[in-house]
Amino acid sequence: MKKKIAVVTGGAAGIGFATCQLLAENDYLVILSDINESLGKTAANNIQEKGGEAIFHKLDVSKFEEVISLIGKVVEQYERIDLLVNNAGIGPKRVQKTADHDLDEWDKIVAINQSGVFYGMKAAVGQMMKQGFGNIVNVASLAGLKASGTGIAYSASKFAVVGMTKSAAWEYASKNIRINCVCPAFTETALLNDSELGHPEMKAKLLKAVPMRRFADPIEIAKSILWLASDQSSYVTGHALTVDGGMMM
């Protein structure tokens, strides 16, 4: 197997799908995983039709037994895992202030966005230690670096992704395993457009806060993930890379 083996979570749509497409164009065999089976199968077929290699696996990242089982199957078949992209995530459906925040929504966001990333790293790093190399890119958010009006649960989960990235990167830096995260700002995907923040009036307001005066295209986030996954960034680890049209400055 000459191609590198990549596992991408939440690969059926948005940033995850753009990442799967780009990885497939860059000599990766992509294990495209997602909770949405029909969308995931269509996404993998779409990549195959364009000559890439993508194989769909159903996965709910909030269930550790499913995550460990998927990583086990990949290793059994390909004997290694070069790259894990922990991308799957959900946003708040509506903006809720802390005092009014729904408890179920808190649990759901933390289970998927935070525990899901921990489970992915826990499952993959053991294998990466055995093989003596590996690369993990987590998808955090600008909401993991500063207050962003997306609510306390989303913010907590994304600050956690940045913190877990640095913590794990520090632990494995001497083991030839690099772990980084990307921190996108508003990106044109269903996560943004199906939420309260996606209403045209709200988007017009949000745009004023973006120095570049446009939202990101998912492919622009995918390119930063590919860079962190590649040898072009060989001395970079534990980094939280903002991809935000200048919002952080």
The answer to whether residues 203 and 185 touch, using CB atoms and an 8 Å cutoff, is no
- Give strand pairing partners of 6: 30, 83
User: Which residue, 22 or 139, is less far from ligand NAD as judged by CB?
Assistant: 139
Residues 6+ apart with CB under 8 A from 199: none
CB of 133 to ligand NAD, least distance (A): 25
CB of 96 to ligand NAD, least distance (A): 16
Distance CA 87, CA 136 (A): 11
Distance CA 146, CA 92 (A): 16
User: Which residue, 96 or 141, is less far from ligand NAD as judged by CB?
Assistant: 141
Residues 6+ apart with CB under 8 A from 249: 211
User: Which residue, 3 or 146, is less far from ligand NAD as judged by CB?
Assistant: 146
Which residues of this protein are in contact with ligand NAD, per CB under 6 A? 9-10, 12-16, 34-36, 39, 59-62, 87-91, 112, 139, 141, 184, 186-187, 189-192
CB of 245 to ligand NAD, least distance (A): 11
Whether 154 sits among the annotated catalytic residues: the reply is yes
Work out the widest C-alpha separation in the chain, in whole angstroms.
53
Q: Which of 225, 248, 236, 247 is nearest to 21 (CA)?
A: 225
User: Which residue, 135 or 187, is less far from ligand NAD as judged by CB?
Assistant: 187
| Surface-to-core class of residue 218, CB atoms within 10 Å of its CB (0-12 exposed, 13-18 middle, 19+ buried) | buried
- Give strand pairing partners of 137: 85, 180
Active-site option among 119, 154, 172, 235 = 154
CB of 198 to ligand NAD, least distance (A): 9
Q: Which residues are catalytic?
A: 154
